[in-house]
Structure 1
Amino acid sequence: MTETRPLRSHQRTLRDLVAAIARGEAAAVTDILAAVTPGGGKSLLPVIAAAELIAAGRVERVVWVVPRDSLRLQAEEAFADPAWRSALGHGLSVRAADNEPDPCRGLSGYVTTYQAVAAAPALHLAEARAHATLLVVDEVHHLPVPGSSRTAEAPDEEAEAGAWSRAMLPLFRAARLRLFLSGTLERADGRRILGLPYHPGGAGRAPEIDLDAPGFAVIGYSRSQALAERAVLPVSFGALDGEASWLEGGRPAGEAPRVGPHRLAGGLRETTRPALFTALRTGFARDLLGEAFHATRRIRALRRAERGLEAGASAPGLGKLLVVAPDQASARRYLETLQGWMPGPQAERDVRIATSSIQDSHAALAAFRLLPEPAVLVTVAMAYEGLDAPEVAVVAALTHIRSRPWLEQMLARATRVDPQAGAYADQQALVFHPDDPLFARFREELETEQGSASRPRQKPAVTAIRTGPLPWRDEPPPGITPLESNALGLRYAMLRPRPAEEGPQPKPRQGPAVSLDAPPSLTERVLRQRITAQVAAQAVEDEAAWQAPRGGNLAHRYNAVLKRVVGKERATMTLAELESALAWLERNRLSDHAHLLDGDARYAWSVRRRRWGGGLRQAGGPDGRLAITRP
């Protein structure tokens, strides 16, 4: 039976807005900003908008642009989810596209990345101009307004961000309607965000988003709203204090003085960053990692016991651990540490790493999201933003970054409600982190905004929108050599909203998770693999039965025959065309159509006469073309 899922308040608001646009009652609206707290369910918003607007004929297709390749499959899944298909009454599909011609392939749209648009801007601009397009700009804060920087930025990051913005701006202008999505509407460099209207900033103040700009509609969904609707989980923090020692940089070898030990919590302000930098790369990191690892084991053991599963049994909904490392070298060390705490076969199955330098990172991310195992994922930045993995119950925040947007995104990996983990009241996000003053300040701000702190708010927040300069920078301290560190004490704190009226307790879902329909890009891949296998099988059979000349690459020639039959390369076929080609192969022999290669020297066999077994022989005609004859 298909699961029934209720729409959240921001999702209902968007549905009502696009319905009004479809009816012509809000035709002046051309830009929609959905400022949704991380984990609050913004990935459904493009589905809601596309289903309503395409059905009404206001747009012809949806183009969804995401910041990373790992998010493309999640966007496909949002459209393919059978529960939402039933709830919204839509039959739309989109595909994860690369920079190849016809990215839609007959579907209702496609998903691509900022990098892909920057690499082939003319391709995507031509698509947007040829069709009335709903342009979905995911995590729009990745796009800065060129020339709006108030702080220094690394040259490579500046170049990449500028290239993305320059490539996306023409798409903004060509699209019929734009839907901007973000969980954090601020940038660490203080720059304005492309596509959003701003009030001019006053003296000493940062520009603020103009919520009343013409043609601009804003839908907000704050963390306090999400908690009230049970759309996200409350967070428990495990703050681990420690002390660290390091060598001061800028001195000749052997003369650098030893500094410390200094505490993380309650230490001097000038020692906080070097102490944290050292702690994340020495013994303290192992101690915090151990706390998170054993907490995850306890959660999984408890849930197994509740379900009557044997120790070590694998099942969905048991809970997983996400480890966020400060850099790739540390991530590899953390991986070795975690695997060292397990037997060999279990370590290979349960712990994976996903960083930009690892070849199978996207496969590791997909397995972590969609399969019961692996249960532990180590990453640096690939999974901190947008990773839709509701099974994450524990996060080990072994990162030096302390900007609020970054930390909110990281916390959101654990605050998603897992429908397979039982009742909402029995779930909880657990985040282990160093007990430094900068993280404590972030927690204090979060508590104040969601209404759980005892002191009143200094300034009311506008839904999920928050602008203004950041209170700290992200750069690690330069010129120090970490020596050693150790943990001193662990304290827990629950971040909860104030008590409120609670609705009926949702019933725990019984049975296995609802299986998603296969996303189009995966279906395409499977069909191409099946076609390849069919072609190879026919080639092997024909060579074995002497139905074709041996030597050379017969499968390569048969692939060329198939291309002549269907008139198209497999890489450019639509789903329907791939299915048709596979069906043709199941009914026909490629050897019967070898004449389609006549006259093409690339596929001609040697004209040298050669006798075959089985009564066939090959001969070259007077024009050098292939001739296969039977006696």
Structure 2
Amino acid sequence: MIFQDSTVSDSPRPASRPSGRALRSHQSELLAIVRAIAAGEAGDLRDILAAVTPGGGKSLLPVLAAHVLIGAGLCERVCWVVPRDSLRLQAEEAFADPAWRNALGHALSVRAAENAPGDPCRGLAGYVTTYQGIAAAPDLHLAAFRRHRYLLVVDEVHHLPALDEDEAGEAAAWSAPIEPLLSLSAVRLLLSGTLERADGRRILWLPYRRAAGGKREVDLAAPSWAVIGYSRARALAERAVLPVSFGALDGEAAWLGPEPEGGGERPRLGPHRLRAPAPDEATRPALFTALRTGFAEGLLRRAFEATRRLRAQRRRVLGEGARGLGKLLVVAPDQAQARRYLEIIEGWLPPGQTGAAALAVSDEPGAPEMLAAFRLTPEPSILVTVAMAYEGLDAPEVAVVAALTHIRSRPWLEQMVARATRVDPHAGPYDAQRALVYHPDDPLFARFRWRMEREQGTRAKPDRRPPRQPALDLPGWLEDELAEARERHGIIPLESNALTLRLTTLRPGPDLAAGLAAAREPEPQGDLLTPSRAERELRHRLGDLVAAQVVEDAAEGLSGPIPRGAGLYHAYNAALKRALGGKSRSEMSIEELEAAAAWLGRNRLRDHLHLLEGDQRFGWAARQRRDWRPPVGRRVSR
């Protein structure tokens, strides 16, 4: 069964749809499919593949599927697997969106789960985890799937290689523990922005067939499969994504080549122009050099100034401090350059505004929290990263991207560009928004742009072909260190400079735009109290309540002896755990955490310290117990 780029389904709609929350065509198609499965009208169909262009709105699809399938009793719970930890909270927010909860009439909640023992759902309708989370505790997730009938959602499934092709490596280590969950699940929804892997291998679980010339391709007509396609052309026609303006910056670069085999000085090569009719042996070394020398600063400066102009223009319309002013995302070639780019940008910021720019790389503490702040708060307005934000980052305020990456894989570049193509509900009318991407003007990027123009219907001569180029030697998909090592090139970058800038805009061609009604724009949504956030707040509240009792009792000398080797706060927490049945706060559901807070409001933990008797971690001598007095003048730590 295939559903590709069809018109909006005629299936019944919820009666009370709020303004601005119309379903896109691919979302309506999925709703029709899962309703057919729930009604027993789809035969043995249990696998759904949704190939949705990056930025086209995949996040609502699991909500729609879970709402129908759990409501019909075909599935009991939903498990949503994402490739990155930073995406867990975004997936959780999709179920908590109040406008869609009202529109669909659903009351499902899922939690961003860690691998704590017990039920990962904590009594809710499902949970969100990562590939890494399943690989780290496969038995925990297998046990959950054996207890309940699950709808399994695998996000960005193209990251997972088929096991018969890659029995080793990190990606295959994720495929192996996820494959049993696919087999056990009642219904499977596989999501992706691309149906190809950069390394050419098959994707886990997807059906394949032999095409002309013996090439393997995904079998879109496989039995017992439903395939939903949502192309960039359709997304533009429905105003689900923004048109893209590219700023292609040319430049020159010079470097020292590899050391001669017989010894001697390294040859100086260049200057070579980045822009060329077709890739040659100088293309990659010139790009490698440009991203690490003066050219990078020139491109950064243009992206920085474009963002300042955009924010000033919108500020005049929207007001000071408003949301929707626009943000800048800088994608660096490696972590060392990311830190250098941040220093450059901070040097351009006015005094007192250094907090406007931030860094999010895997080696930096607090990187997930920085990503969340970039998504959800007015500041920072500039984020420098390598790979953490390239895929799945739902930050509609990103309006400008500085593409200072050497990666030229089409799926990679599509995902990066898509960070700026999301419609920002705070930024005014659709026609007043656009995505602006600054990039090196090299022939490899030009090929990618040519393909985008073909997809969007802006190429006047469809029989034209871009220049042929050799196969690209690309790194792994989920490595955060994406820089090509200097030894790999055997070169030493010397210098580069920025030259001319060419600006072009890709918009829907007349064949796409004519006669197509624009869907309504999404309405702004407030700060969502998701289950995992509610859990964190309740855990913090319990900690505050315990600390308050510690301070009060120590001040009055009523708590008894301090356990040897442990602070009073630690002992009180241990007593609370035992009083509540031995379950730690990290294992409690929201209801259990609320009950614990209520219990603390009625009871004093000093009366339950006897529960620690016999535990060597909290042992103390009878004399210490008898003679203990609160320390004079010492403040008990919270």
| TM-score where L is the length of structure 2 | 0.89
SS of equivalent residue, structure 2 residue 328: strand
Q: Which moved more, 1:6-15 or 1:560-569?
A: 560-569
Identity of aligned residues (%): 63
Q: How many residues align?
A: 590
1:31 partnered with 2:42: no
Q: Say which SS state the counterpart of residue 543 (structure 1) adopts.
A: helix
1:450 match: 456
Q: How many Å separate the matches in 1 of 2:520 and 2:457?
A: 27
Match status 1:395 vs 2:405? no
| Distance apart, 1:215 and its partner CA | 0.9
2:162 — aligned with what?
A: 145
Quick one: which amino acid aligns to residue 45 of structure 1? L
Q: Give the distance between the partners of 1:352 and 1:406, measured in 2 at CA.
A: 22
Match of 1:483 among 476, 479, 494: 494
Paired position in structure 1 for 2:269: 259
Matches within 5 A, 1:428-507: 428-456=434-462, 472-474=472-474, 476=484, 478-499=489-510, 500-501=513-514
Q: Distance in 1 between matches of 2:474 and 2:550?
A: 58
- Give the structure 2 partner of residue 91 of structure 1: 107
Task: Give how far 1:146 is off.
Answer: 2.5
Matches within 5 A, 1:559-598: 559-567=573-581, 568-598=583-613
**Offset at 1:3?**
5.6
The one-letter amino acid of 1:234's match is P
Instruction: Provide the C-alpha distance between the structure 2 equivalents of 1:457 and 1:48, rounded to a whole number of angstroms.
Output: 40
Contact preservation (8 Å) 1:245, 1:482: yes
Query: Aligned residue for 2:412?
Result: 406
The letter of the residue matching 1:257 is: P
The answer on whether the counterparts of 2:395 and 2:419 sit within 8 Å (CA) in structure 1 is: yes
Distance 1:507 1:206, change over 3 A: closer
Q: Tell me the distance in 2 between the aligned counterparts of 1:115 and 1:325.
A: 24
Cα separation, 1, equivalents of 2:506 and 2:597? 55
Corresponding residue of 1:207 = 216
**Deviation, structure 1 residue 516:** 3.9
- Residue 607 of structure 1: which of 622, 629, 635 is its match? 622
Instruction: Name the structure 1 match of 2:636.
Output: none
Contact 2:20 2:522 in 1 (8 A): no
The offset of 1:222, in angstroms, is 0.2
Q: Which runs of 5+ in 2 are unaligned?
A: 1-16, 476-483, 631-638
**Which of 538, 545, 548 is the aligned partner of 1:537?**
548
Deviates more, 1:158-167 or 1:128-137: 158-167
Q: CA deviation at 1:560?
A: 1.9
Are the equivalent residues in 2 in contact too, given 1:339–1:351 (CA < 8 A)? yes
Once the two structures are superposed, what CA deviation does each residue of 1:400-430 show, in whole Å capped at 9, x if it has no partner?
1111000000000000000000000000000
Distance, in Å, in 2 between the alignment partners of 1:497 and 1:514 is 28
SS for the counterpart of 1:135 is strand
- Per the alignment, in what secondary structure is the counterpart of residue 577 of structure 2? helix
Rounded Cα–Cα distance in structure 1 between residues aligned with 2:518 and 2:451: 29
CA-to-aligned-CA distance 1:531-560 (integer Å, 9 cap, x gap): 011111101101111112253422222112
2:56–2:235 Cα contact (<8 Å) kept: yes
2:85 is the alignment partner of 1:44? no
The structure-2 alpha-carbon separation of the partners of 1:571 and 1:481, relative to structure 1 and needing over 3 Å to count, comes to same
CA–CA distance in 1 between the matches of 2:223 and 2:602? 60
Q: Whole-Å Cα distance in 2 between the matches of residues 91 and 67 of structure 1?
A: 26
Counterpart in the other structure of 1:193: 203
Aligned-partner residue type, residue 414 of structure 1: A
**CA shift for structure 1 position 200:** 2.9
1:233 match: secondary structure: coil
Which of 77, 86, 89 is matched with 1:61 structurally? 77
Q: Distance in 2 between matches of 1:559 and 1:2?
A: 46
SS in 1 for 2:343: helix
Deviation at 1:231, TM superposition (A): 0.1
Indicate the residue corresponding to 1:219 in structure 2. Answer: 228
* 1:61-460 paired onto structure 2 within 5 Å: 61-101=77-117, 102-148=119-165, 159-201=169-211, 203=213, 205-251=214-260, 255-266=265-276, 269-309=280-320, 314-347=321-354, 349-456=355-462
Counterpart of 1:221, as a letter, is: Y
SS in 2 for 1:584: helix
Q: CA deviation at 1:470?
A: 9.0
Matched-pair contact (CA < 8 Å) for 2:115–2:137: yes
Contact 1:422-1:509 at 8 Å conserved across structures: no
Q: Separation in 2 of the partners of 1:48 and 1:551?
A: 54
8 A Cα contact 2:399 2:434, kept in partner: yes
Q: Which moved more, 1:568-577 or 1:605-614?
A: 605-614
CA contact under 8 A between 1:38 and 1:412: conserved in structure 2? yes
Q: In 2, distance between residues paired with 1:580 and 1:3?
A: 38
Q: Tell me how far 1:587 sits from its aligned partner.
A: 2.3
SS in 1 for 2:169: helix
The residue that corresponds to 1:617 in the other structure is none
Structure 1 residues without counterparts, runs of 5 or longer? 150-154, 460-468, 615-631
How far apart, in 1, do the equivalents of 2:412 and 2:327 lie? 21
Which residue of structure 2 lines up, in the alignment, with residue 629 of structure 1? none
1:505-537 Cα distance to aligned partner (Å, 9 max, x none):
778888xx4214311112111111110111111
Maintained 8 Å contact 1:323/1:396 = yes
Cα deviation for residue 130 of structure 1 reads 1.4
**Cα separation, partners in 2 of 1:607 and 1:216, compared to 1, 3 Å:** same
Kept in 2, the 8 Å contact 1:543–1:550? The answer is no
Matched, 1:6 2:22: yes
Q: Give the drift of 1:604.
A: 4.0
Shift, 1:432, TM fit: 0.2
Partners of 1:590 and 1:214 in 2: CA distance: 62
CA deviation profile, 1:437-474 (whole Å, cap 9, x unmatched): 11111101110122111112689xxxxxxxxx995333
Distance 1:201 1:126 in 2: 40
Measure the CA separation in 1 of the matches of 2:19 and 2:611: 51
Asked if structure 1 preserves the Cα contact closer than 8 Å seen for 2:560 and 2:606, the reply is no
Distance in 2 (alpha carbons) for counterparts of 1:198 and 1:519? 38
Inter-CA distance 414–276: structure 2 relative to 1 (3 Å threshold):
same
Calculate the TM-score normalised by the size of structure 1: 0.90
Contact 1:99 1:120 in 2 (8 A): yes
The structure-2 alpha-carbon separation of the partners of 1:122 and 1:612, relative to structure 1 and needing over 3 Å to count, comes to: closer
Question: How large is the RMSD of aligned CA atoms in angstroms?
Answer: 2.2
**Given the superposition, is the C-alpha separation of residues 170 and 420 from structure 1 closer, same or farther in structure 2, using an over 3 Å criterion?**
same
